[in-house]
Structures are given as structure tokens and as C-alpha cells.
Amino acid sequence: MRKQRTLNNSIQASGVGLHSGKRVKVILEPAEINTGIVFLREDRNKRIEANPENVADTQLATTISKDGVYIRTVEHLLAALFGLHIDNIIVRINAEEVPIMDGSAAPWIYLIKTAGIVKQNAYRSVIIIKKPVRIKEKGKFAAIIPSSKFEINCSINFDNYFIQKQKMCISLNENNFVKEISKARTFGFLKDIEYLQAHNLANGGSLDNAIVVDEYGIVNEDPLRYKDEFVRHKILDAMGDISMLGADIRGKYIAYKSGHDLNYKLVKKVLEDKKAYEIVGSPDKEKTVLRAMQMNLRQEAISI
């Protein structure tokens, strides 16, 4: 297990909301042990914790709310915090949507590292997946299965000549999250923009904060950051969504054509099945549980 972490200093950023199109200011502040990730809507004087109970909407982004007050598009910031093992933080925000920045988690990584990261005198809880949990809907699939580490196996399949099928498997740690996942940008299709804006979505979208894809390739002048940037961004989104479990994870997330809605349903289903997981809060207990789990996995492999 590892010690909990927070920021060394506060740091401020501003930008535009992807869907609202509104300018917004965000301040990231250090927080005490066991605070968790807490958003504070300063214009409404409302605290909203980033947890499954507060997830209110998953249409094209993840929205959390409390008492009718919303904060939209939290997933990229949550992924950055999860990937850098930031456990306790106050996110002060003066509008309804987290700024999209460049469409990836990279600007948040820069801000967090600029503020500095400090260890705290308490251990981070670990959620250990003990049996498979699956969700399947309309040809889409998401699951989490036992593993001694945190892994993601993600596949996408779009009816688009340029994207088509992409797949990536990665065992995640802080270094390869920053290098391999954090810079992957959100994306959308040129043919859908008019429809989205007619439904009050993507009002702040531009070629500066999203990859726009037409029938033949990307509309953006800047090239892709990764050859398979699209599936990497899906992994980024999934990290933000499953970070709502509120602990480090020992398990393997597997997804096919999944999105925010299926990710959230998977998180909810895991927490509803008390036999599917165990939360460990002491280093010695985690070692014992992991040793038992590794023996079970080896026995399953032999039987297969």
C-alpha cells in the first residue's frame, strides 16, 4: 500500500466548458487526510463529493450533482488525479462545467506537478476485486475481474474508415499513465456537431480542444498524438469514471465499445455486490489478501 497524497500548494486554471461554452475558473487546493476528491461550486456554495452516489448524468460526459447543483465533465480531471495518485483535494469551481482545456488530461497533469505532490501520514485504501463483475448492453461490454495489479483492456469499433477498430491493453502506473494515456484528446465526428449543438451540447468544442473526424481523417491541422489516440482517450475516460470507487484498484477493467454510462453502471454493480470486492486499509492485510488471490488465480489457470 502507499501513503495518501495531496498537493503541496494551490494552483489556478481557467478555460471553457466543452458543452456549456462558458468561461470557468478552477482552483486546485490541498486537503486533509481522508477528504477525498471534493468539488466546491463557489457560485452556489455547494460541496459535491466525487463518488458514485453523486453521479447524475453520463450523456457524453460524467456529471455529478447534489441538491440540484451540477458539475459537468469531471472525468478528465478525475483521471489526472487518479493517475497521479492524488487522494485528497478541494476543487473550487465558479461555474457548472470543468474546463475542457486541450481535450486531454495533460494540462491537469502539468498543473498538479507544478503545484507539487506531498505524501500524508495515512495509508490509501485498496479495493481488491475478488470475482468478475460484468455489464452488457446493446453490443457493448464492460467488466472488471480479479488481478494483482490495476490493468485496462479496452477495445473500440467505430463505423468510420479512419478509426475502425482499435485495442489497447496496459498495466497502469503513474509513469506510463502520463506518457501513454494522459495526452489522448477527446474526439467527435464532424457529421454530429450540428445535432449536438442543437441539443445544447459541444457549444465550447473547437479544433483546439477536440479531435474532429470526418469520413477520410481528422479535420485538425495538428496530427494525432498517438497512432491509436482514440482508444487511449477511452481508457482516459474510463480511469476518470472508475476512480469513483474511491480507492486504489487491484483488478482488470475490460471494455468493448464502452462509455461513461456503462462505466458508471459497472462501478455501481461492483459496489452492490459485497462478495465482488474487499476494501483493505492496512498494508499487512493487503499483502495477505493479495497472496491468497494470487494462489487462487494460479489454481484457476492450472484448471483451465
Among the listed residues 267, 296, 275, the one whose alpha carbon sits nearest the alpha carbon of residue 147: 296
On the 0-12 / 13-18 / 19+ scale of CB atoms within 10 A, 97 is buried
Cβ 177 vs Cβ 105: under 8 Å? no
User: Which grid cell sits at 79?
Assistant: 483521471
Beta-carbon contacts of residue 211 (< 8 Å; ≥ 6 apart): 103, 185, 186, 187, 188, 218, 220, 224, 229, 230
3-state secondary structure 88-156: CEEEEECCCECECCCCCCHHHHHHHHHHCEEEEEEECCEEEECCCEEEEECCEEEEEECCCCEEEEEEE
CA distances from 301 to 197, 237, 295, 296 (A): 50, 31, 10, 9
Q: How far is CA 97 from CA 45, 129, 161, 205, in A?
A: 15, 32, 32, 13
CB-based burial, 191-224: b 16+ in 10 Å, e otherwise: eeeeebeeeebbebbeeebbbbbeeeebebeeeb
Across the beta sheet with 63-66, the strand order is 55-57, 63-66, 69-71
- 260 is a catalytic site residue: yes
Catalytic member of 19, 76, 233, 260: 260
Catalytic residues: 260
